[in-house]
Amino acid sequence: MTNPYLLPDERTGMNSLVLRNVRPYGEAQLDVRVENGVITELGSVRPTAADDVVDGQGAVLLPGLVDLHTHLREPGREDAETVQTGSAAAALGGYTAVFAMASTEPCADTAGVVEQVWRLGRQTGLVDVQPIGAVTAGRAGTQLAELGAMADSPARVRVFSDDGFCVSDSALMRRALEYVRAFDGIIAQHAEDPRLTLGAQMNEGVVSGRLGLTGWPAAAEEAIVARDVLLAGHVGSRLHVCHVSTAGSVELLRWAKGKGWAVSAEVTPHHLSLTDDLAESYDPIFKVNPPLRTDADVAALRAGLADGTIDCVATDHAPHAIEDKETEWGAALPGMLGLQTALAIVIETMVEPGLLDWRGVADRMSVAPARIGALAEHGRPIAIGEPANLVVVDPTIRWTVSPAALVSKSRNTPYAGRTLPGRVVATVLRGRLTSRDGAVLDAVPA
Amino acid sequence: MNRHLLSAADLGREEALRILDTAEHLDRALSGREVKKLPPLRGRTVVNLFYEDSTRTRTSFELAAKRLSADVVNFAAKGSSVSKGESLKDTALTLEAMGADAVVIRHSYSGAAHRLATWVQGSVVNAGDGTHEHPTQALLDAFTIRRRLRGATGDLDGLRVAIVGDVLHSRVARSNVLLLTTLGARVTLVAPPTLVPRGVADWPVGCVFDLDSVLADTDVVMMLRVQRERMAGGFFPSAREYSRRYGLDARRMAMLGDTAIVMHPGPMNRGMEIAAEVADDPKRSTIVEQVTNGVSVRMAVLYLLLGGSEQLGD
């Protein structure tokens, strides 16, 4: 039977691409031939007239990046982002797969919504859009959503999260962890004890005290991380901790992993690079949840990512309309763009200081997130016979972030005006270029 | 002087003293006049943009501007962007288009005055933003202390000031800590541990939990208003317990040195943080004077910010 969702060139099939002068994992330079979505040659490749050719000029070749935490805003806030614009941002950022968070309007708590998002992603075709399902109905934290229905839908949901809200009820969290074992699912927890963060606006510390902004204490995250790793250990389920932001959480995760429990965690680029003193401008471009923390937290997060205590980098790409950011700090929505700057920030904070080599980047930004989210075709080795989901990045090129030049529908990057290392030269999804030299390639009509 | 007054931290020692001296000067210039009006801000427009009800602060700014002959517009902004009214930015652009020379803003969000200052050309005066700052209150407090204890000249070097109560949620406390220490005073915060902000160890102040322990060695006791709603947040068990541990009553007032004064920014909760006989004590209480001085200090701020050019008559 023909799959009605197959895209035109998947049905008809042929394409051939040669990536010349690229260095897999930053190692020896070679050429790569890709045919029909699969790597078929590695070494010295002579292109033919029929080939698409990209000359990497010594740039680094990595498996296509995978983002476990993206807000695409569709359905509901198409003024801030759509699957189309978010996919374009992902392709330009070097991503070949993104996990779309459930915090849409209506939220992704039914098979219908996850299937809609999944289908929109397929139609756009720039990146594999893998929906995340809500853990609880309406993300209200009181009753499990129909997790099995979402798992059984064409979207094949395996990651479940109420992100934006914590599953704070301990008994409900335990049941969710247990229930998803039936289909090898995983609960991705937004770790925030809501009673400790009533009205919270920024990290609780010296700066919040001075600015008169209600504090979001590190303990509110760590209390939930501690509880949840204990629950995951007790019931033998997989737990993923979203956007870890504190040094204490890193310690708890290290302890839990030492016990052999199936716990994984992500850190965002902004928590690797920015600190709470940026709130002194009262510019809500720096307002995010969990909030920016301190230098000591940043150092612990980088160390945790380097030693594998934190498994992966996830963007928490959170587009917001201008009117939701050009306000008083307290009235603004929390969140930052991330897809187009994530790799550059990882290069700046991890590769350039020597904390992570390119194999490490491939693991933390592709292999690990694909494994956690159970995406079989992504995060694969660069080897003959493997799916050609790839990114070529030139770490020697520096570029200046201009909000107006981003392809996201929103402009809320915290890096405006910053010069960052690492330019994505090309992104390849199943053998087809989705971005090249900073331009999106609309390969597939919707 | 800077274009705006957003925080007491904007003021160095010399600038702060200049405001206090100007306030004394303006006060003398007006005293004894039948018509309480000076000409320097004639033709200038001052907008009072108040997102919170605060009759006393708004009236004080209004009087200050009018006594300098400015045109005053009261823009009572109901609802901010949260309640789906006009956004602060749009309001700012509207006031800008109407040619406001200065905007005096009171807002429930910390940092609102800072945001406003990025959107308007005119001067912005912070008349209280959330739980952040209230710099003109600190200026009028410093003015009052200086008059009472320093003969209305110089700085506050060596004076010992206890700020007592809900420091965590107090914009008055934050501005006073900054300004009074800039002027050389030694400040100690007195509060239950639940109402002390994180990071106070990095502030240039002392901090104790026991009110009785500081009273004998204090020149100024500044009581903060405590909102009864704080009980719901579990910051203290009951109004009665708060009053017993942190209220200034006659027994505690008797522990003060001879010349010590008692201040309160108002509005007071009589019987809660301050007993009636303390608030009304003719020798120590400066509460009514603070209100009077508020007008003089706000005149000085508007005068200096708007660069009043005409000579002040003596």
State residue A114's pLDDT score. 98
Using DSSP bridges, classify how beta strands A390-400 and A52-63 pair: parallel, antiparallel or unpaired: antiparallel
CA atoms of B93 and A39, how far apart (whole Å): 57
Is the predicted pLDDT of residue A8 greater than 60, yes or no?
no
CATH 2.60.40.10 describes domain A63-372: no
pLDDT tens digits, A185-223: 999 999 999 999 999 999 999 999 999 999 999 999 999
Enumerate the H helices of A180-217 as residue ranges: 206-211
| Average pLDDT of the residues in B8-25 | 97
Contact B77/A at CB under 8 A: no
CB-CB under 8 Å, B197 with A282: no
Is the predicted pLDDT of residue A446 greater than 90, yes or no?
no
The band of B76, judged by pLDDT with boundaries at 50, 70 and 90, is: confident
| Centroid of chain to Cα A182 | 25
**Closest of A62, A52, A53 to residue A23, by C-alpha:** A62
- Considering the domain architecture, whether residues B91 and B181 belong to the same structural domain is answered as no
The band of B308, judged by pLDDT with boundaries at 50, 70 and 90, is: low
Using DSSP bridges, classify how beta strands A38-43 and A30-35 pair: parallel, antiparallel or unpaired: antiparallel
Please name the member of B112, B115, B200 whose beta carbon is closest to the beta carbon of A209.
Answer: B200
CA atoms of A289 and A166, how far apart (whole Å): 12
DSSP code at position A181: G
Is the predicted pLDDT of residue A12 greater than 50, yes or no?
no
Contact A214/B at CB under 8 A: yes
The band of B86, judged by pLDDT with boundaries at 50, 70 and 90, is: confident
Contact A276/B at CB under 8 A: no
Contact A206/B at CB under 8 A: yes
| Inside any domain, residue B258 | yes
Contact B174/A at CB under 8 A: yes
Six-digit token string for A321: 């309309």
| Inside any domain, residue B91 | yes
Six-digit token string for A342: 């994530």
Is the predicted pLDDT of residue A342 greater than 90, yes or no?
yes
Amino acid code (one letter) for A309: T
State residue B228's pLDDT score. 77
From chain A, pick out residues whose CB is under 8 angstroms from the CB of B129. 212
CB-CB under 8 Å, A204 with B80: no
For residue B92, the chain A residue with the least C-alpha distance is A327
**Do B89 and A326 touch, CB atoms closer than 8 A?**
yes
Contact B85/A at CB under 8 A: no
Phi and psi for A435 in degrees, rounded to 5?
-145, 150
- B106 flagged as catalytic: yes
- Considering the domain architecture, whether residues B154 and B277 belong to the same structural domain is answered as yes
ipTM exceeding the 0.95 mark = no
A371 CB-side CA count, 13 A: 17
State residue B232's pLDDT score. 80
CB-CB under 8 Å, A329 with B88: no
From chain B, pick out residues whose CB is under 8 angstroms from the CB of A210. 174, 197, 199, 203
Six-digit token string for A316: 């928490």
CB atoms within 10 A of CB B219: 20
- Considering the domain architecture, whether residues B254 and B299 belong to the same structural domain is answered as no
Bin A232: left if φ > 0, else alpha if -120 < ψ < 50, else beta.
alpha
Amino acid code (one letter) for A264: S
- Considering the domain architecture, whether residues B99 and B180 belong to the same structural domain is answered as no
Using DSSP bridges, classify how beta strands A312-313 and A263-267 pair: parallel, antiparallel or unpaired: parallel
CA atoms of B233 and A293, how far apart (whole Å): 25
CB-CB under 8 Å, B81 with A331: yes
CB-CB under 8 Å, B115 with A213: no
State residue A445's pLDDT score. 39
- Considering the domain architecture, whether residues B130 and B154 belong to the same structural domain is answered as no
**Domain at A8-61+385-440: CATH code:** 2.30.40.10
CB-CB under 8 Å, B198 with A328: no
Contact B132/A at CB under 8 A: yes
Domain segments of chain A: what residues?
8-61+385-440, 63-372
State whether the Cα torsion B112-B115-B120-B126 is positive or negative: positive
- Considering the domain architecture, whether residues B116 and B216 belong to the same structural domain is answered as no
- Considering the domain architecture, whether residues B296 and B282 belong to the same structural domain is answered as no
The three-class DSSP label of residue A432 is strand
Is the predicted pLDDT of residue B314 greater than 70, yes or no?
no
**Do B44 and B71 touch, CB atoms closer than 8 A?**
yes
CB atoms within 10 A of CB A126: 28
* Residues making up chain A, counted from first to last: 446
Question: Look-up: residue for tokens 């801000």?
Answer: B41
Question: What's the whole-model pTM score?
Answer: 0.94
Kindly report the three-state secondary structure assignment for every residue of B161-220.
EEEECCCCCCHHHHHHHHHHHHCCCEEEEECCHHHCCCCHHHCCCEEECCCHHHHCCCCE
From chain A, pick out residues whose CB is under 8 angstroms from the CB of B203. 209-210
Axis-axis angle for helices A295-307, A247-258 (nearest 10): 30
- Considering the domain architecture, whether residues B84 and B173 belong to the same structural domain is answered as no
- Considering the domain architecture, whether residues B127 and B139 belong to the same structural domain is answered as no
The mean predicted confidence, pLDDT, of chain A is 95
Burial of A355 (0-12, 13-18, 19+ CB in 10 A): middle
| Inside any domain, residue B2 | no
Amino acid code (one letter) for B247: G
CA distance B197 to chain A (A): 5
Residue B146 is part of a domain; what is its CATH number? 3.40.50.1370
CB-CB under 8 Å, B174 with A210: yes
| Inside any domain, residue B154 | yes
The mean predicted confidence, pLDDT, of chain B is 93
pLDDT tens digits, A97-111: 999 999 999 999 999
Determine which helix (DSSP H) or strand (DSSP E) holds A159, and give its type and residue range.
strand A159-160
* CB < 8 Å from B in window 282-301 of A: 282-283
Query: Whole-angstrom distance between the N-terminal and C-terminal Cα of chain B?
Result: 23
| Inside any domain, residue B45 | yes
For residue B131, give Cα distances in angstroms to A246, A278, A292: 25, 18, 20
The percentage of chain B sitting over the pLDDT mark of 70, rounded to a whole number, equals 96
| Average pLDDT of the residues in A360-365 | 98
CA atoms of A108 and A105, how far apart (whole Å): 8
Please name the member of A215, A326, A328 whose beta carbon is closest to the beta carbon of B109.
Answer: A328
Please name the member of B81, B82, B199 whose beta carbon is closest to the beta carbon of A205.
Answer: B199
| Inside any domain, residue B1 | no
Contact B131/A at CB under 8 A: yes
pLDDT tens digits, A427-439: 999 999 999 999 9
The band of A10, judged by pLDDT with boundaries at 50, 70 and 90, is: low
Question: Look-up: residue for tokens 């910053």?
Answer: A418
pLDDT tens digits, B209-261: 999 999 999 999 999 999 877 778 899 999 999 999 999 999 999 999 999 99
DSSP code at position A204: S
CB-CB under 8 Å, B199 with A207: yes
| Inside any domain, residue B187 | yes
- B252 flagged as catalytic: no
pLDDT tens digits, A371-422: 999 999 999 999 999 999 999 999 999 999 999 999 999 999 999 999 999 9
Catalytic positions of A, written as ranges: 316
pLDDT tens digits, A142-160: 999 999 999 999 999 999 9
Determine which helix (DSSP H) or strand (DSSP E) holds A135, and give its type and residue range.
none
State residue B231's pLDDT score. 77
* CB < 8 Å from A in window 193-222 of B: 197-200, 202-203
**Which of the residues B45, B57, B144, B286 is marked catalytic?**
B57
Is the predicted pLDDT of residue A3 greater than 70, yes or no?
no
More confident residue, A14 or A354: A354
pLDDT tens digits, B209-223: 999 999 999 999 999
| Average pLDDT of the residues in A304-309 | 98
State residue B227's pLDDT score. 82
From chain B, pick out residues whose CB is under 8 angstroms from the CB of A326. 87, 89
State residue A4's pLDDT score. 54
- Considering the domain architecture, whether residues B16 and B93 belong to the same structural domain is answered as yes
State residue B83's pLDDT score. 53
Contact A323/B at CB under 8 A: yes
Six-digit token string for B18: 């200049």
* Residues making up chain B, counted from first to last: 314
- Considering the domain architecture, whether residues B60 and B95 belong to the same structural domain is answered as yes
Domain count, chain B: 2
The percentage of chain B sitting over the pLDDT mark of 90, rounded to a whole number, equals 87
For residue A213, the chain B residue with the least C-alpha distance is B110
| Centroid of chain to Cα A386 | 22
Contact B224/A at CB under 8 A: no
- Considering the domain architecture, whether residues B196 and B219 belong to the same structural domain is answered as yes
- B244 flagged as catalytic: no
pLDDT tens digits, A47-94: 998 889 999 999 999 999 999 999 999 999 999 999 999 999 999 999
- What is the DSSP code string of A290-356? SPPB-HHHHHHHHHHHHHTSS-EE---B----GGGTSS-GGGSPP-B--TTTHHHHHIIIIITTTS-
CA atoms of A108 and A153, how far apart (whole Å): 12
State which residues form the domain around B83.
8-134+292-305
- What is the DSSP code string of chain B? --S-B--GGG--HHHHHHHHHHHHHHHHHHTT-SS----TTTT-EEEEEESS--HHHHHHHHHHHHHTT-EEEEEE----GGGTS--HHHHHHHHHHTT-SEEEEEESSTTHHHHHHTT-SSEEEEEEETTTB-HHHHHHHHHHHHHHHHTT-S--TT-EEEEES--TT-HHHHHHHHHHHHTT-EEEEE--GGGSPTTGGGSSSEEES-SHHHHTT-SEEEEPP--GGGGTTTSSS-HHHHHHHH-B-HHHHTTS-TT-EEE--S---BTTTB-HHHHT-TTTB-HHHHHHHHHHHHHHHHHHHTT--SPPP-
The percentage of chain A sitting over the pLDDT mark of 70, rounded to a whole number, equals 96
Please name the member of A198, A206, A329 whose beta carbon is closest to the beta carbon of B111.
Answer: A329
State residue B310's pLDDT score. 47
**Closest of B188, B153, B186, B134 to residue B8, by C-alpha:** B134
* CB < 8 Å from B in window 33-72 of A: none
CA atoms of A320 and A235, how far apart (whole Å): 38
Lowest mean pLDDT among A2-6, A29-33, B51-55: A2-6
Is the predicted pLDDT of residue B156 greater than 70, yes or no?
yes
